[in-house]
Amino acid sequence: MELTTEIKKYLDRSVLCWLATSSQDAIPNVSPKEIFTHYKEDCIIIANIASPQTVINIKNNNNVCVSFVDVLVQKGFQLKGKAVIIKKNEPEFDEIEPLLLEMTKGVFPFSSVLKITIDQSKEILAPRYLFYPNTTEEEQIERAKKAYNL
């Protein structure tokens, strides 16, 4: 599916995403990634800096799920799709690398990237937005700042 403007906005605003994979024998694995962005109309790319179990799992089972929220606004998305690992010697790596290097500033080396083609999306909302529909984003930001002692 094509990533909407709203999904791209939350991808840009979210500091971390959480990538879930599953092993061959169905053991779930979730780990955080901060070097990620949208790519083309329907993909997310993530730098593989230090994610050995994620890579093993994707080689055996390419179904993945990635979640991210703006921690202050407390909204985000859960996306599901199929992942591939693209290594340095492959042509697509040269196209993707600069987009992620812009984020690492070259400080963290990576020689492969994860490319996820998204086929499902679901909005994530803090329960307050559902139970108290008059809640504004500004109020929620203030609540989150207090909760995080910011």
Residue 135 Cβ, how far from ligand FMN at the closest point, in Å? Answer: 28
Count of residues of this chain found to bind ligand FMN when the rule CB under 6 A is applied: 15
| Contact predicate 140/129, CB 8 Å | yes
Q: Tokens in use for 26?
A: 């169905």
Residue 34 Cβ, how far from ligand FMN at the closest point, in Å? Answer: 4
Q: Among residues 35 and 73, whose Cβ is nearest to ligand FMN?
A: 35
Rounded Cα gap, residues 32 and 75, in angstroms: 17
**Binding of ligand FMN at residue 16 (CB under 6 A)?**
yes
Q: Among residues 36 and 77, whose Cβ is nearest to ligand FMN?
A: 36
The three-class DSSP label of residue 148 is coil
Residue 32 Cβ, how far from ligand FMN at the closest point, in Å? Answer: 5
Rounded Cα gap, residues 38 and 112, in angstroms: 16
| Segment 22 to 61, residues that bind ligand FMN, using CB under 6 A | 29, 31-35, 47-54
Rounded Cα gap, residues 74 and 77, in angstroms: 10
Residue 123 Cβ, how far from ligand FMN at the closest point, in Å? Answer: 23
Q: Among residues 28 and 137, whose Cβ is nearest to ligand FMN?
A: 28
Q: Among residues 101 and 125, whose Cβ is nearest to ligand FMN?
A: 101
Which residues does 22 contact at the CB level (< 8 Å), separation at least 6?
28, 29, 57, 61, 63
Which helix (DSSP H) or strand (DSSP E) does residue 55 occupy? helix 52-60
What residues line the site for ligand FMN (CB under 6 A)?
16, 29, 31-35, 47-54
